Chains A and B, each alone.
Chain A
């Protein structure tokens, strides 16, 4: 999985590409932990190029959103591809996480 980071004002956008599975999820977890530790409080996870998420990946998404919220911040998820959307729906993530149709909409929700 590739992670590309960009910053818009106080919002960090992490664009995820490829597969978020048990092998790749530690990489994202470390990235999110580092952002929270560095004081970032608004993060968009852009999933437009993410074509797979496993239970380990879901756990990192939930853990990351929880850590941000506990630190007074927020996470917003954007542009879920059909396979990722299906897993979000199955696992109830659509009900507890903020999911938006595009990275721009997700960023606007955090502004």
Chain B
């Protein structure tokens, strides 16, 4: 088991996207989750000082390994193309690797002792994987902190702003923070969600793919 220090954004998104009781992914647009994972990887690299972004482009600042194999793999992909591309373009490229990002993040959460893996068969044929929670401390702590932020008027710290932005982009925030109190603070949540430029680009990228496409995208059930 690896120590449960601060989770990466990729791990946080993978963890918060799981239903506590069933260990299955919460219902959300598949495409949104793919982009959120891709965005989470970019946010991790940005917070670690390996990349920087603005509304026009993503820039690699350093290719020094982060020590995290998932993030280092993503950094290699970014560094392989020195042409400045907008964040939205990179999200599209990385979202194609979201199955790998998701599996790697789930594996890491199992290694950290937060989740356990359960394999079963449906109709004796189809393999189903679930991730029941072993240690719910991290998930409860993050949800409590973010809920307080939404309901209050305090400034977020940059990590919380990034996480909220990613959760809003893939519509997980609406699932996690549902309820009359949170609904009454929809404007506040929308305002907080804009505070991270990469998270904002995740939302924009999903919107750009079109509501029609999102409507046709299968839901994770």
Contacts and interface: CB of A to CB of B under 8 A. Distances in A.
Interface of A: 21-23, 26, 52-56, 58-59, 62-63, 65-66, 69, 87, 90-93, 95-97
B55 A56 contact: no
Interface stretch (B109-117, B150-158, B209-217): B150-158
A63 to B, nearest CB: 5
User: Which applies to chain B's interface (DSSP): helix, strand, loop or mixed?
Assistant: mixed
Contacts of A87: 54-55, 197
28 contacts: A21-B52, A22-B61, A23-B52, A23-B61, A26-B49, A52-B54, A54-B53, A54-B54, A55-B46, A55-B196, A55-B197, A56-B46, A56-B52, A59-B158, A62-B155, A62-B158, A62-B161, A66-B155, A66-B156, A69-B154, A69-B155, A87-B197, A90-B55, A91-B195, A91-B196, A91-B197, A96-B195, A97-B155
A90 to B, nearest CB: 6
A84 to B, nearest CB: 11
B206 interface: no
B191 A58 contact: no
Main secondary structure of the interface of A (DSSP, over half): helix
Nearest to A93: B195
Among A62, A65, A90, A93, max chain B CB count under 10 A is at A62
Interface of B: 46-47, 49, 51-55, 59, 61, 154-158, 161, 191-198, 200
Contact of B195 (A53, A62, A69): A62
A91 B52 contact: no
B195 A55 contact: no
Interface centre among A26, A56, A69, by most B CB within 10 Å? A56
Given A92-B191, A92-B195, A55 B157 contact: no
Nearest to A95: B191
B155 A90 contact: no
Contact of A58 (B47, B49, B154, B197): B197
Residue among B46, B54, B195, B196 with max Cβ neighbours from chain A (10 Å): B54
A62 B156 CA distance: 8
Given A95-B191, A96-B191, A96-B195, A59 B51 contact: no
A84 B52 CA distance: 16
A25 B11 CA distance: 26
Contacts of B161: 62
Count chain B CB atoms within 10 A of each CB in A22, A23, A66, A95 and give the residue with the most. A22
